[in-house]
Chain A
Amino acid sequence: MNQHNSGATEWVALLGDSARTGGLGLKAALEPKGIRWRLRLAKSVRSAPVLGGDLLYVTCLDGFLHAIDTTTGRHAWKFDAGAPSHSTPSLSGGKVLFGCDSGRVRALDGISGRKVWEVAAGAEVWASPVVQGGKVFFGSADGNFYSVDLETGKREWTRPVGARIYSTACATPGRVYFGCSDKRVYCLEPSSGKVLWSTATGNVVDSSPAVAGDTVLIGSEDFAVYAFDAATGSVRWKVETGLGISSSPAVSGGTVFIGSKDHFLYALDVRTGSLRWKVNLRTSVTASPVVGKGVVCIQAGGLVALDSSTGKTLWRASLGRSLQSAPVLAGSRTYLAGIQGIVYALE
């Protein structure tokens, strides 16, 4: 569990933990009765919202980070990033962090929206900045992976890999993992950026890794889901799907859930890779699933909730068509956004 998850009302990052439960734990995803509120933004949303206290943070192609009051559905404030953002925000130490297409990564005060610091990469940052041990980690399309200090934004180290990075890292106390467009999955030492291992897949890796115990799970555009030994990078198993994978896995109860462009959502055994179930969602599945209590939710066409043990559809909401967004499951409330640029609170 991410050490910065601070309370029961925070959904702090896309990779808040491997199950993407944020700081909320495995919350139920009750079938919503309707829309509590909706907020139309000026452009498309290509990232996932995150929840901190009473504020929902959403980046948008309109160039703003929007902080939305979850009670009213109105803006608490918005920050002009000066460029579109595809980066899912993350929350840590009272700050909200996000990247944008200009290459800038910013830390804002989560309550006021005041800028605390910013750093600049050489090209767009689509990945979500992740925090571990007081350090912020992110990759950029400039071919570098960065570590900066959470409090000051001072650059700690830069690791050039020579190919674009869109994968959001998964950081544990001793390791940082991410995928790269050079077809490899990397494991770095957080303190120095030293490459501990890197393992090749058959094509570019756009997916973001999840860690389950000593196993790193990730998808590749070579159509396969991979499980690596977290310590050595050796391939434990590999499962082929029908098309490329840019969806990122979620893990819960020994099962890894991941979508493929072949229209299926897969549930695989973390230990062996054996298929537990797969469901045809009748559209390319590029977004990331989110696990709740007995339920896995994914934005594919609209929002779909499936029984996590059988794959049976529990309910659907024809809202939130998405490429990369994932819903926030907050018990009686579900928050989501999508390519139409509308943010919804369902209840």
Chain B
Amino acid sequence: MKRRTFLKSAWLGSAASFVGRLKAQGMKRFTQPKPPPIKTHPLPNYKLSPLGMPGLYPGRVVEVVDPHAISNNHVSQPLVRRMLERGMQELTGKSSVQDAWGLFIKPSDVVGIKINPSGAPACYSSPEIVREIIRAVESVGVPAHNIVVYDRYSYEVQLGSYRAFLPVGVRLVGIENGAFDVSGYDMNVYCQADFFGEWETRSYLAQVVSQEVTKIINVPTLKDHSAAGVTGCLKNLGYGSFNNVARSHHQPITFTDPLIGVMCSVEPLRSKAVLHIMDGMREVWHGGPLTQVQSFIAQPGMLILGTDPVAVDTVELDLITRKRQAEGALSLWDRNPKNITFNSNEFYHNSQKNLFYRQPGHIAAAGKLGLGISDHQKIDRQRIQLGT
């Protein structure tokens, strides 16, 4: 069934004709329409935790690089362990790795690990990193049965073969087992907005987030995104914990700015997300989030850590922007109608094309909601080089 089936009316007529009109009018630059108001309904009486976003270290971002950590797509778990330990020490200033983790996780916590399996198997949250995070969480006294690795789509989780990579006892949750499956969502926590005349205007928060876990460790990937510009901490957390989010895009327009940030600001998601560990073993610089085209996927062997998702995503945006410039790809901010294609296959193979007028401004918008710092001048960016 096509997306348009869900629209009550043709908001813009056909999207292709919309772009055609822009071109015919000689418009050289697209102007983003004003987004509709978004109403939020958080969990009642939930108070912001001091660990909640932007967390203990607003504006601090630690990049740990070891080019040997990945070779021909093989990720080295021992090297990942060393990178993660160095990164946690640098982020927290603690000499003991266990003490560093203890700032975020208590033995009584139920810990959710939010992975990003979309893009599997070419680029997804590396199981080797997830295993090392589990090892660290267990080291502070959390039993395996109180660790939950989750994402929205059981299909993508299965494709990533996470089940086989997890220690015995750790739970793996794919919230949706098929289209229209809302059984895993909390009807009391939602964001509501009418973007394009869709029938269902609410997006509900996953029950595993609202009712089960007490802390979330977010493990996004270093990846561009056809609509949001990049998909990092904020996008992985917001669009991967609420349902019915694809309705915010209708080619070539997307309202990922401001919906991503708004979703991340909703309690209890905001308070529970205490740590962000971005998987930069691979770097998708074009075709994200689903590309399988290896020529658009570099392998820098990087982890990016922080408690401030806005600051981490700002660094990610900088890295992807530089990489795209080096490769001669379109700017993530490109607004030229002639560069829009409605052929996704063309987009996946041509870095001079866009499916949407991308909205990397969603990161700064989240900063304005108090989720973190997007000003480069105020970001404390540390880089640790290993393995040279």
Contact = CB atoms under 8 A, between A and B. Distances in A.
- Same complex for A and B? Answer yes
Interface in A304-323: 323
Given A142-B168, A143-B168, A263-B292, A164 B177 contact: no
B189 to A, nearest CB: 24
Interface stretch (B156-164, B326-334, B366-374): B156-164
A323 B122 CA distance: 16
B161 A43 contact: no
Contacts of B159: 284, 286, 323
B149 to A, nearest CB: 13
A244 B160 CA distance: 9
B121 A44 contact: no
Contacts of A84: 177
A79 to B, nearest CB: 19
B193 to A, nearest CB: 29
Nearest to A263: B292
B161 A246 contact: yes
Contacts of A43: 177-178, 181
A339 interface: yes
B386 interface: no
Interface residues of A, number: 35
A84 B167 CA distance: 21
Interface in A104-147: 123, 126, 141-143
Interface in B163-185: 163-169, 177-178, 181
B57 interface: no
A334 B159 CA distance: 25
B373 to A, nearest CB: 37
A223 interface: yes
A83 interface: no
B87 to A, nearest CB: 23
Contacts of A126: 163
A77 to B, nearest CB: 23
B74 interface: yes
A181 B164 contact: yes
A166 B73 CA distance: 23
B165 A46 contact: no
B155 interface: yes
A82 interface: no
B155 A339 contact: yes
Contact of B161 (A44, A141, A244, A340): A244
Interface residues of B, number: 21
Nearest to A143: B168
Nearest to B73: A243
Nearest to B122: A243
Contacts of B292: 263, 284
A242 interface: yes
Interface in B19-68: none
A93 interface: no
Interface in A198-223: 202, 204-206, 221-223
Contacts of B73: 223, 242-243
A342 to B, nearest CB: 11
A94 interface: no
A142 B168 CA distance: 6
A46 B74 CA distance: 27
A263 B178 CA distance: 23
Given A164-B163, A166-B163, A284-B121, A223 B74 contact: yes
Contacts of B166: 164, 181
A166 B164 contact: yes
Contact of B155 (A44, A163, A202, A222): A44
Interface string B254-289: 000000000000000000000000000000000000
A216 to B, nearest CB: 19
A163 B144 CA distance: 13
Contact of A221 (B154, B164, B167): B164
Contact of A204 (B155, B161, B178): B161
A40 B161 CA distance: 26
A164 B164 contact: yes
A162 B168 contact: yes
A204 B177 contact: no
Contacts of B168: 123, 141-143, 162-164
Interface centre among B73, B164, B167, B177 (most CB of A within 10 A): B164
Contacts of B163: 126, 141, 164, 166, 206
Nearest to A62: B177
A221 B163 CA distance: 12
Interface in A294-347: 323-324, 339-341
Contacts of B169: 123
Contact of A206 (B120, B122, B161): B161
Contacts of A95: none
A261 interface: yes
A61 B158 contact: no
Contacts of A143: 168
B156 to A, nearest CB: 10
B330 to A, nearest CB: 25
Interface string B111-141: 0000000001110000000000000000000
Contacts of B177: 43-44, 61, 84
Nearest to A324: B158
A261 B121 CA distance: 7
13 contacts: A43-B177, A46-B158, A61-B154, A126-B163, A141-B168, A162-B168, A163-B167, A206-B161, A206-B163, A243-B121, A244-B121, A263-B292, A323-B158
Interface of B: 73-74, 120-122, 154-155, 158-159, 161, 163-169, 177-178, 181, 292
Given A141-B168, A164-B164, 17 more contacts: A43-B177, A44-B154, A44-B155, A44-B178, A163-B167, A164-B167, A204-B161, A204-B165, A206-B161, A222-B74, A243-B121, A244-B121, A246-B161, A284-B120, A324-B158, A339-B178, A341-B178
The 5 closest A-B pairs by CB, nearest first: A261-B121, A206-B164, A143-B168, A204-B164, A44-B178
